[in-house]
Chains A and B, each alone.
Chain A
């Protein structure tokens, strides 16, 4: 059943620790993610899930251990972080679209300004991904004119336009109504089908069951448990995971 662990993982967290002042948010976290793998991270509020995935594109700086993306270690002396960040897509709980730009312009900004594409090529690519997230008809609108579900899908398209090697999701459906949650999860399912490497912080256990290769449970800054979904849900080893699952299922 177990996947073969490739020689070189796409993402490697090796003994990562982080403090906010005196408060330790991450405690000696180890995680290896192979190309094409899909990881779901869950755990109680404040357990450090957001902080963990934000360390992967260095929106947060870790203090101990190593964060390695595609063979490049991220640290204070990483020469060009933008080189790394363009290959890592990130989707936020609150969408964080650029409100002064249309949906299309949101999607074109990175390709034009970071990848140096011509506006015509960038527009074509943006329309392609807006089609994939099923909102091509919203391209000319501003984010404020869209529903929450549409905004989140636009944000996903904006990330995909950079053709990233991995997509990070931080509770992408937590700010949404049930109907919209389904729209967004459908898009994420499609994305998983296409073979995208994904790390998803979510409490949508249905999604974890069907899509994830491994489910990680975090508590107080550590990854307590990281198992394939069938084993994670059937017989978790740790007491805390059991308690969490009994609350959430």
Chain B
């Protein structure tokens, strides 16, 4: 494409749409202002983000920023197992044998046909009462040396909340993994059968065929939708607030109650989510363009 050709000049249609949007926004503000009689007061927000700590004499993150960081941690931590679930079950989904296919299908259908919220309520109860004691996370954290504890905190956040964060990560990963499974399956199946035939006719074994012909092509088709799913994962992490994982949405509820500035808090939180997700999508776009350029 010629540089600059994308920045087309405004046509009259654009102008009409733009003015319609301005009018609509103006109307909404007018309603809020005149009819709702809501008194805006943003003064509580900066302090909910960062507060001055008298003891250490430093600015420290307050509830909203703490939640924001936890959300980022949750997203990054659950991305790895979610992608792993997606890869393993996605491959099983295309297996020749019935049992692996059935297993993976059951996983996907179970999760896709239950509301995420309901799944998380059930599954969280199971994880926190059954799996966490088996993993011995709590004991491990309690018995950890200061050095280990410091690196643990770097990854998982405040020590007291580590079991809490891990439960959240497992829930989110299970749930997102099902969607990634479908993406991986579609990617693998999008490689035409003729590629398999060509590979077999030069004598490749099943494994080499998979490794050298199918996987590389599937991977290329899977990366963009997986990136999109990662952004969805970030947004969906907000439902973890309902099982008391102390991420952004959970702490926003607390802040909204304690400051009584409901709109201001939620609008700020929306802004935080937006920034995070938008930055991610810009980053993924860029990565993809670089990859495409490297290929050409």
**A interacts with B:** yes
Closest residue to B208 on the A side, CB-wise?
A113
B158 on interface, CB distance cutoff 8 Å: no
CB distance from A222 to the nearest CB of B (A): 25
- CB pair A100 B203 closer than 8 Å: no
- CB pair A88 B201 closer than 8 Å: yes
Indicate which residue in B204, B216, B220 contacts A114 across the interface (CB closer than 8 Å).
Answer: B204
A86 on interface, CB distance cutoff 8 Å: yes
* Contact A86/B197 with A100-B217, A113-B212 known, Cβ cut-off 8 Å: no
* Contact A100/B220 with A85-B203, A109-B212, A110-B203 known, Cβ cut-off 8 Å: yes
Residues 169-219 (chain B) with a chain A CB within 8 angstroms: 194-195, 197-205, 208, 212-213, 216-217
- CB pair A85 B197 closer than 8 Å: no
What is the size, in residues, of chain B's interface with A at 8 Å between Cβ atoms?
Answer: 17
Residues from chain B with Cβ under 8 Å of A109 in the complex: 202, 204, 212
* Contact A159/B202 with A98-B213, A99-B217, A109-B212 known, Cβ cut-off 8 Å: yes
A74 on interface, CB distance cutoff 8 Å: no
Indicate which residue in B197, B202, B220 contacts A110 across the interface (CB closer than 8 Å).
Answer: B202
- CB pair B203 A90 closer than 8 Å: no
A146 on interface, CB distance cutoff 8 Å: no
- CB pair A92 B202 closer than 8 Å: no
Residues from chain A with Cβ under 8 Å of B213 in the complex: 98
- CB pair B203 A97 closer than 8 Å: no
- CB pair A90 B201 closer than 8 Å: yes
A89 on interface, CB distance cutoff 8 Å: yes
- CB pair A86 B194 closer than 8 Å: no
Residues from chain B with Cβ under 8 Å of A159 in the complex: 201-202
What is the size, in residues, of chain A's interface with B at 8 Å between Cβ atoms?
Answer: 26
CB distance from B197 to the nearest CB of A (A): 5
A204 on interface, CB distance cutoff 8 Å: no
B-facing mask of A91-104, CB < 8 A → 1, else 0? 01010111110000
CA gap between A82 and B207 in the complex, in Å: 12
- CB pair A98 B204 closer than 8 Å: no
- CB pair A92 B194 closer than 8 Å: yes
* Contact A92/B197 with A100-B220, A113-B212 known, Cβ cut-off 8 Å: yes
CB distance from A57 to the nearest CB of B (A): 6
CA gap between A158 and B198 in the complex, in Å: 10
Q: Which of B197, B203, B217 has the most CB of A within 10 A?
A: B203
Residues from chain B with Cβ under 8 Å of A87 in the complex: 203
- CB pair B200 A158 closer than 8 Å: no
A59 on interface, CB distance cutoff 8 Å: yes
- CB pair A96 B195 closer than 8 Å: yes
- CB pair A82 B201 closer than 8 Å: no
Q: Which of A81, A89, A99, A113 has the most CB of B within 10 A?
A: A113
- CB pair A113 B201 closer than 8 Å: no
B-facing mask of A194-207, CB < 8 A → 1, else 0? 00000000000000
Indicate which residue in A81, A83, A85, A99 contacts B202 across the interface (CB closer than 8 Å).
Answer: A85
CB distance from B19 to the nearest CB of A (A): 45
CA gap between A81 and B205 in the complex, in Å: 9
Residues 120-164 (chain A) with a chain B CB within 8 angstroms: 155, 158-159, 162
- CB pair B194 A82 closer than 8 Å: no
Closest residue to A96 on the B side, CB-wise?
B198
* Contact A110/B217 with A96-B197, A98-B195 known, Cβ cut-off 8 Å: no
CB distance from B217 to the nearest CB of A (A): 5
Closest residue to B200 on the A side, CB-wise?
A85
CB distance from B257 to the nearest CB of A (A): 55
A-facing mask of B35-54, CB < 8 A → 1, else 0? 00000000000000000000
Residues from chain A with Cβ under 8 Å of B203 in the complex: 82-83, 85-87, 110, 114, 162
- CB pair A162 B194 closer than 8 Å: no
Residues from chain B with Cβ under 8 Å of A86 in the complex: 202-203
Residues from chain A with Cβ under 8 Å of B217 in the complex: 98-100
CA gap between A110 and B208 in the complex, in Å: 10
Residues from chain B with Cβ under 8 Å of A155 in the complex: 198
* Contact A96/B202 with A109-B212, A113-B208, A114-B208 known, Cβ cut-off 8 Å: no
- CB pair B204 A110 closer than 8 Å: yes
- CB pair A162 B197 closer than 8 Å: no
Residues from chain A with Cβ under 8 Å of B201 in the complex: 57, 59, 85, 88-90, 159
Residues 44-81 (chain A) with a chain B CB within 8 angstroms: 57, 59, 81
* 5 extra A-B contacts, CB within 8 A, seeds A85-B200, A85-B203: A59-B200, A86-B202, A110-B204, A113-B208, A159-B201
List residues of B whose CB falls within 8 A of some A CB.
194-195, 197-205, 208, 212-213, 216-217, 220
A sample of 12 inter-chain contacts (CB < 8 A) reads: A59-B200, A82-B205, A86-B202, A88-B201, A92-B198, A98-B217, A100-B216, A110-B203, A114-B203, A158-B202, A159-B201, A162-B203
List residues of A whose CB falls within 8 A of some B CB.
57, 59, 81-83, 85-90, 92, 94, 96-100, 109-110, 113-114, 155, 158-159, 162
A-B pairs, top 7 by smallest CB distance, nearest first, are A86-B203, A110-B202, A96-B198, A90-B201, A114-B203, A85-B203, A82-B203
